[in-house]
Structure 1
């Protein structure tokens, strides 16, 4: 009886190890292709005076295994202007997306979203500029 119980536990342990190995192999396969990894995805400027322009540079690295190609970068409103690299980003290399927000005509809490469209494993990434636009005191 003890041998039967021991054989059962050995067989169960072997199946568990095999399942973990298959899961690890599946995870390795998931990261094939280009991957955008941002240092940060939001920048909060706090209070800014109405009419002020603020800008931030979002730095990213292609942590994938293939060349990253950004096809488009789009902002949620015309008050936010992104500039991005038009050339492909090789695996392991870094690049930047510069975003400028113009608070003219805006008031209160603002969250300007920028969508990055690419051939990455996640085809749409987002970054945001956050601010609270207040009337300029005179």
Structure 2
């Protein structure tokens, strides 16, 4: 009787493993069949990987040595050298210590526009920060860079007092 129970238990266990394996194979086959459709859906519209046709006056600015606690700004300028109207769709700084502002109106061919980066010099040391600019004429983003060195404020020497006689 004990042998019969063990045999039945072993048979049920074997059946369970076989059923799980078949279920896993079915799920894998369904995923494989759906994969080509998903791949095709993600490749519907080809991306415009040609760099933007706008011309930047500069893409890096070095502030040099700046004082701690005094924000500094630089205005990057570009000219629309394309044959279409360009719109800046997004400007994103690499960290919260850099604020941005930019021309929000459409830029017609031949016109110029700006992107301003303001760095909050909160802690001493060298810095390099990026600002990513996205436009409607290309899927390739433009990276603008600001850099410099924040100087620690000079500390005033404490006045020296002469020892007092008691």
TM-score of the superposed pair, with normalisation by structure 2: 0.59
Which of 55, 58, 62 in structure 2 is aligned with 1:44? 62
Task: State yes or no: 1:121 paired with 2:157.
Answer: no
Please state if 1:35 is matched with 2:60: no
Q: Would you say 1:62 and 2:118 are equivalent positions?
A: no
Give the count of matched residue pairs.
107
Between the aligned partners of 1:60 and 1:98, the Cα distance in structure 2 is 11
Query: Residues 33 and 77 from structure 1, CA distance in 2 versus in 1: closer, same or farther, beyond 3 angstroms?
Result: closer
Question: What is the CA-CA distance between 1:117 and the residue it aligns to?
Answer: 0.7
In the alignment, the residues of structure 2 paired with residue 121 and residue 65 of structure 1 have an alpha-carbon distance, to the nearest angstrom, of: 13
* Aligned twin of 2:18: none
Larger relative contact order (C-alpha < 8 A, sep ≥ 6)?
Answer: 1
Structure 1 gaps, min length 5? 1-31
RMSD of aligned alpha carbons: 2.1
Looking at structure 2, the residues matched to 34 and 62 of structure 1 have their Cα atoms a distance apart, in angstroms, of: 9
Question: Kindly tell me: are residues 71 and 48 of structure 1, through their superposed partners in 2, closer, same or farther at Cα, counting changes over 3 Å?
Answer: same
Displacement of 1:122 after TM fit? 5.5
- Which residue matches 1:22? none
Separation in structure 2 between the aligned mates of residue 35 and residue 122 of structure 1, nearest angstrom:
11
Q: What TM-score do you get using the length of structure 1 for normalisation?
A: 0.71
Contact 2:52–2:140 (Cα < 8 Å) also in 1: no
Decide which structure has the larger Cα Rg and report it.
Answer: 2
